[in-house]
Structure 1
Amino acid sequence: MALRMLGRRSMSAAAAPVTKFGTPGRYANAIYAAAAQKNALAAVTDDLSLLKETLKASATLHHFVTNPSIPRETKASGIVKLLTSAKADVVTKNAMATLAEGGRMHDVFKVIDNYMEIITAAKGEVNAVITSAAPLPEEEKAAIRAQLVSFLDKGQTKVESVFKVDASLVSGITVEIGDKFLDASVATQLKKLHSLLKTSI
């Protein structure tokens, strides 16, 4: 509740460049607004990046914050103690305490990821995930990066590209850039052909 109230007070002065939806998205919007109002975006971004890395690295800590049998108040005090020892910004501590008290610590990774997407948008950047059936040579990657620039929306200035491999695509690629998804994989073409054949029999 406290974070949502803070988010509403801050939003008019520090509206996020993109609005995230769903419960994790609403928390992310509020964290961004609170951090922007206090000129603490860089600090909070660093805090949340470190927290995510720490949770991934420590199975014990991950279990502590996501185990539903552990009281919310215990989680809140524990996460605040951890963040205090790491000299985290007060916005980060308040945000995670509110997340714990609201019983939403199981969404912590989604909240952080949503927040990072807002930060990326604020920088005029957009993330692109290119998935191919086999590793692509560097010259093909460069050509794809050059083509992705044409998909940028107004206010976007840079594409951050991540290349992945998924053998189930058979051949071709899929591209996810911002809210756009392009599928040029053989697997999808085969599925469409299979569906067409079934309906024509």
Structure 2
Amino acid sequence: MEIPDFLPAFTSRSKPALSAVFTPDMVEADSLLRARYSDLSPSTLSVDDVTSVFEGNLWSLAGPAFLYFLPAFMRLCLVDYPALTVFAGELIGALTEPSRQDVSAAFELLDSLPPKSLRNPGLTNELRSRQLEWFDSGAPNALFVARFDDVLPAEGAAIVIFLERFRRAHSDDFPFDEIDLAMTRHWYRYRP
């Protein structure tokens, strides 16, 4: 599979100042990202950078930083998916417009998994309640809008290309049609 160069579509994105990298609600940002930030760029980002700095922290990136690094994230997920399976799942999640139904469906799936004897219904209900409360606060939708409300047509088209290529190569690893959800909820409008 030929890997597209996503960088040209995002040339209008400049590297944000460190103070603008994290979402406003981040009290204490990841210290490794803070320490390495000045050395990181989309053209030089490596798999090791992604797994050691961004994996598990993608949720904390504010819109400008997310879009600045997005072309590298997409390229690396296509080039070296076996090393980035966890991060790729995070990226697909970040590219998916949030839905309250997703939270409910995730807990319904958890409730259906065997063995029931290992689950703690009280803990599950507490987690469900907190996740729904968080969703109802508007935070997930606000983050999605902050990241993608000003996406340029060329950037949106690049994201569509990524999602289509990624789906062809790795849809078997996403049995709940997560890649299609990302496309149909938001990115379809950028199809050429």
Which of the five TM-score ranges fits, normalised by the shorter chain? under 0.3
Q: Which has the higher helix share?
A: 2
Larger Rg: 1
Please, what TM-score do these two structures have when normalized by structure 1?
0.25
Higher RCO (C-alpha 8 Å, min separation 6): 2
Please, what TM-score do these two structures have when normalized by structure 2?
0.26
Q: Which has the higher strand share?
A: 1
